[in-house]
A and B are shown apart, each in its own frame.
Chain A
Amino acid sequence: MITLLDLFSIAAISAGAFFFFAGTVGLLRFPDALTRMHALAKADNVGLGLVALGLIPRAESALSALKLIVIWALVLLSAASTTQLIGRALRRGPK
């Protein structure tokens, strides 16, 4: 018997998986590194966010759900910083 919360989880995680898929297609098909990072940012931020959102109803406690959100926030932080760093390294050219 699938409850409404289960349906919500399935929908959110499927949407997140779609974003990951789209990000991977972008990573493989875009012409240069900067555009590929653009695609990866979608996968990381929105895709992971949707997956975390879908997992929240399945968490054992409010604290676990909060930990999921903290994980997403940490990934956002590191993805944003490393994208900036890679972009700068690309702009300076190979050395």
Chain B
Amino acid sequence: MSLLPYLDIGLALLVVVVAVWTIAARDLFTSVVGYVAYGLLLAFVWIRLYAPDVALTEAAVGGGVTGVLLITAGKRLGALKNVAPEAQPGLAFRLLTGVLAALVAGALGAVILMLPDPPPSLAPEAAAAADGAGAGLGNPITAVLMSYRSFDTMLEKMVLILAVVGVWSVGTDKAWGGAPAPFRRPKPYAPMVFLAQMLAPVGVLIGIHIFWTGANAPGGAFQGGALLAAMWMVTMMARLAEPPRIDAQWLRLALVAGPAVFLIAGLAGEVVAGSFFAYPPALAKPIILFIEAFMLLSIAAALPMLVAGPPSERVDQ
């Protein structure tokens, strides 16, 4: 007798309960804490769905970095502890919204119960991309991301850059070119400094390892990049490093390097291998890892810049 069905049901119940708590919480901080916990529980659900890469990404980006973003935002708004500042909607509105939400959820649930059987699948095409064209990657998700749907991944890197540009444009005209506001007040607490000094080297090592091993095992540039970004953020929180000026050349080069190398590789594929984003069969794996290395750099640079926010005139040594 297997206990797994009970685990599944218990996990599903727990996820829904924590999500309800996130929505129903009184103040923002409680809600964000609930969201981070929810993200970690969701990583478990992903593991049960045989998706370790997605579980890694959800735990790192969905739970971790989004939590940092929201708590930093709440702190800057001074709104972490507010309790219903504006007029709460009335009961009738709540009921109406509840009915709408239930209808949407019910429709989606009905669709899920009526999914076609046998299920259609793109796995054969993905397997062809993983073995054929000389890619030789052991991790089919990396093969899909970098070979079968490489154009999508490149566009997604460009979306990251666009988001960074969007965040930077929100700053005031006077502050343009400056650095974002520091993460915390000038004199950081010693345990924070200790944590940053001990954790950052180990974290960088683990991040690079996760990126490198993503070719053959669960992992990849996104997960590794999120870890590297977290290490930079921890260092900035301990004031061992400052958010850089947004007109710094090295920062802009680091941000653009990923999509630029990707695009150049794709255009070169037109010339060398016959079609846009095709890789020459013998060199496919080295080229993919080369592109992924620059993607790693871009992601590790973009995520902390997104959390740091627009350039600000507030400078406190």
Contact = CB atoms under 8 A, between A and B. Distances in A.
Within 8 Å by CB, do A and B touch in the complex? yes
A8 to B, nearest CB: 21
Interface in A36-95: 74, 77-78, 80-82, 84-85, 88, 94
B31 to A, nearest CB: 17
A77 B199 contact: yes
**Interface range on chain B: under 10, 10 to 19, 20 to 34, or 35 or more?**
under 10
B81 A78 contact: no
B199 to A, nearest CB: 6
Contact of B199 (A78, A84, A85, A94): A78
B198 interface: yes
B202 A78 contact: no
Contacts of B271: none
Chain A residues touching B, majority SS: helix
**Interface range on chain A: under 10, 10 to 19, 20 to 34, or 35 or more?**
10 to 19
Contacts of A94: 81
Contacts of B155: none
B17 interface: no
B192 interface: yes
Interface of B: 81, 189, 191-192, 194-195, 198-199, 202
Given A77-B198, A77-B199, 18 more contacts: A74-B199, A74-B202, A77-B195, A78-B195, A78-B199, A80-B191, A81-B191, A81-B192, A81-B194, A81-B195, A82-B195, A84-B189, A84-B191, A85-B189, A85-B191, A85-B192, A88-B189, A94-B81
